[in-house]
Chains A and B, each alone.
Chain A
Amino acid sequence: MENIKELILAKVSDAVIEDKQYLTVTVKPEDLRTLAKMLRYDEGFDYLIQLTGVDYGDSLGVVYLLAKSEDMAVCIVIKTATADKENPTLPTVSDMWKAANWNEREVYDYFGVIFINHPDMRHLFLTERWKGYPLRKDYDAGRDVNPLDLKSYDMSDTTVSYVSEGDGIKKIEKNLFEEEDYVVNIGPQHPATHGVLHFRTALDGEIIKKIDANCGYIHRGVEKLCEGLTYPQSLHFTDRLDYLCAHIYRHGLCMCVEKAAGIEVPERAEVIRTIMDELQRIDSHLIAWSCMCQDMSALTAFIYGMRDREKILDIFEETGGGRLIQNYNVIGGVMADIHPNFVQRVKDFIPVMRKGLKEYHQLYTGNVIARERMIGVGVMSKETAIAYGVTGPSARASGIHCDLRKMAPYAAYDKVEFKEIIRMEGDSMARYMNRLDEIEESLHIIEQLIDNIPEGDFCAKTKAIIKLPEGEYFQRVEGGRGEWGVYILSKGDKTPYRMKFRSPCMTLVNAMDTISRGGKIADLITIGGSMDYIIPDIDR
């Protein structure tokens, strides 16, 4: 890493380099692109993991977390800020990392920062009529500023981008679609969008020419809410982001807080958390499989998947009390000890699931229609996946080693042996098969741990009020759909100054336009099913 420091200083002489959790470089906005270019093209930091806007009070800043596709554990943080709060502008990096496209739109939504040269500077989550920037510290959240409006407005067909010209900034309006495009609205209420997502799809007959995805139909402002709540209070929001990975997400936030506060988690809790994570992953992949089958109109397969999933929910319900949302992790461990039946139930479940997997392959994987519809459909190349920052089973289907359980092990993952499922095809079939194979791997992990749950406390003793020391904390965990991350900026209070969640699903939907162009409408549905996004996770 020393090498990198010198290289950075050689390029940008007044960069401030700090050794924190990750190497952190602070630069002025005008040097940002120079540094970013160097890191992206010379040093191989091709993954943009997180892009977070922060209101520092006197300035508005952005924090970039970059990683390498060769080794996902190597990260670097870039920070920049602009002092102009009236007309804040920053240079875009969306031409280097396509993942930045939506993230910068999100920052524009939250803080009003305009990114120069960004191709599509529209609101992402909020409507065009929204007044104010909700995540700025001076935003008054009163309902009288932005009252509930029930009128249906037409969506604008144009977008703007701001281009620097000489000293000033020029605003350019562009049309989203061409004159003769046949634009079909798929969503916001549509059976195959897995929630409330809105695809405006330009068609040529049945062929897709362009997709314009709109989010925000379930944007609940979780990040702002977290700023007003203490750390234990904000835990429950993570369950409701991606409700199919409730346990894993909560695990991530707990770990972040524990690391920052220096809380030692008992070994028993670590193992329980790992088992629960893997059960949750099986649950999540089962739903993904079921819903994909349902999207392709195989209702029987859907019901089979849901049927087997109920057995996992039984295990959750017995121990944690909740079915879908368990509220089981707490800071320092887990909320309650496992139920006496837990071990036996899990042991009973493993052979049932193995049998189920065999059944799924017989019923669906071998089906000639299903194969025709999945093989070669929606091919996501390795480059596309990296550019959009796609992670999880979908990226592993494109040949990227990005399993954080292997790359940066947490909890009890370093004690178990399992395979990282990699496929090279990158099509819908590969993504589909990856999920089913990962269920098998998860079962394997559970098998190794279930007999070896150590005795001891299930939760560390923590203070009633948890205050994190001043600083920035990152935590990345492997969710069911990809890498989920949390970023906490603490000013030493009992509440976070800024809390940001990295959504794996956002990258997936962001990539939809690229990989489904040229396909049929039916392919869009297949690809959507194979990508398996959860909308509340995107909108937060």
Chain B
Amino acid sequence: MEVKDIKIKGISYDEFKDNDSLEKYVEELRANGVGIITGVLDDIINWGRSNSLWPLTFATSCCGIEFMAVGAARYDFARFGFEVTRNSPRQADVIIVAGTIVDKMAPVLKRLYDQMAEPKYVIAMGSCAISGGPFCNSYCVVNGVDEFLPVDVYVPGCPPKPEALLYGMMQLQRKVKMERFMFKDKEVKENE
């Protein structure tokens, strides 16, 4: 099943991997049907959100350099509207966890995430953020940020190439494009 309304400019639907989980996610979101007006409003909002994902400048180690490379001339994530890296978590939309998270850093990262304004997304970049990577046996390394953060997209690699991060960000865009925002709270309450 191809989800018709997910379009990323220049890349066809089939070129993306892991379409299954996206389709499952869409099915879940649309289980009770989507109202015409709310659906259209959602689409407009999602268009805005997905094209303006401002990352927080957050990097702990190697992956941070690749994150910088994505911002620089050759890869240039400004093309997708990600360029405005914010230094204040209040103004950021997505936190790219680039690098190893250790025990001492984990509370800080959690706090940063809590300080971000909704809607907020998390990308785990690199094997350290995904699972602890080469340091997973260490006495003070967190084995994956998903232990305490809800991760939206995983970008594997040690460190991932800039292209991989761009791909991951596009996957996040696809996910954001499917979200439901209007009257979501009301529906959740009714279901309860």
Contacts and interface: CB of A to CB of B under 8 A. Distances in A.
A306 B135 contact: no
Nearest to B72: A306
A218 B161 CA distance: 22
Contacts of B148: 148, 150
Contact of B102 (A191, A218, A243, A323): A218
Contact of A240 (B62, B104, B106, B147): B62
A492 interface: no
Contact of B141 (A190, A221, A307, A325): A221
Given A191-B57, A195-B59, A127 B108 contact: no
Interface stretch (B31-39, B63-71, B175-183): B63-71
Contacts of A228: 137
A449 B95 CA distance: 44
A113 B108 CA distance: 29
B140 A220 contact: yes
Given A191-B57, A536-B60, A225 B103 contact: no
Contact of A244 (B65, B135, B139): B65
Contacts of B102: 216-220
A16 to B, nearest CB: 34
A126 interface: yes
Contact of B110 (A150, A217, A306, A307): A150
Interface of A is mostly: loop
Nearest to B89: A189
Nearest to A239: B62
B92 to A, nearest CB: 11
A127 B104 CA distance: 7
Interface in B32-90: 57-62, 64-66, 68-69, 72-74, 87
Which of A151, A195, A219, A325 has most B Cβ within 10 Å?
A219
A517 interface: no
Interface string A213-248: 000111111101100100000001100100110000
B59 A146 contact: no
B139 A218 contact: no
Contact of A221 (B62, B74, B139): B139
Given A126-B140, A191-B57, A228-B137, A306 B62 contact: no
B100 interface: yes
Interface residues of A, number: 47
A325 B107 contact: no
B99 A218 contact: yes
Interface in B129-186: 134-135, 137-142, 147-148, 158-159, 161
Contact of A218 (B68, B87, B100, B110): B100
Given A195-B61, A217-B102, A218-B102, A188 B135 contact: no
B3 interface: no
A302 interface: yes
A217 B134 CA distance: 17
Contacts of A146: 103, 139-140
Contacts of A325: 62, 158-159
A219 B60 CA distance: 10
A310 interface: yes
Interface string A275-306: 00000000000010000000000000011101
Contact of B161 (A195, A304, A306, A323): A323
Interface string A240-272: 100110000000000000000000000000000
B105 interface: yes
Interface string B110-121: 111000000000
Given A221-B138, A306-B72, A148 B108 contact: no
Given A141-B139, A221-B138, A306 B73 contact: yes
Nearest to B133: A240
A180 interface: no
Contact of A243 (B62, B108, B161): B62
B76 to A, nearest CB: 9
Given A310-B74, A324-B159, A218 B61 contact: yes
A285 B144 CA distance: 32
Contacts of B108: 152, 188-189, 196, 217
Contact of A149 (B73, B107, B138, B158): B107
Nearest to A218: B60
B109 to A, nearest CB: 8
A119 interface: no
Interface in A74-93: none
19 contacts: A126-B104, A127-B103, A148-B148, A151-B107, A152-B111, A191-B87, A196-B105, A217-B60, A218-B99, A220-B135, A225-B137, A240-B62, A243-B62, A304-B73, A306-B69, A306-B74, A307-B72, A307-B74, A310-B73
Given A148-B147, A219-B104, 20 more contacts: A125-B104, A127-B103, A139-B139, A148-B103, A148-B106, A190-B87, A195-B59, A217-B108, A218-B61, A218-B99, A218-B100, A220-B100, A243-B159, A306-B69, A306-B74, A307-B73, A309-B69, A324-B159, A325-B158, A536-B60
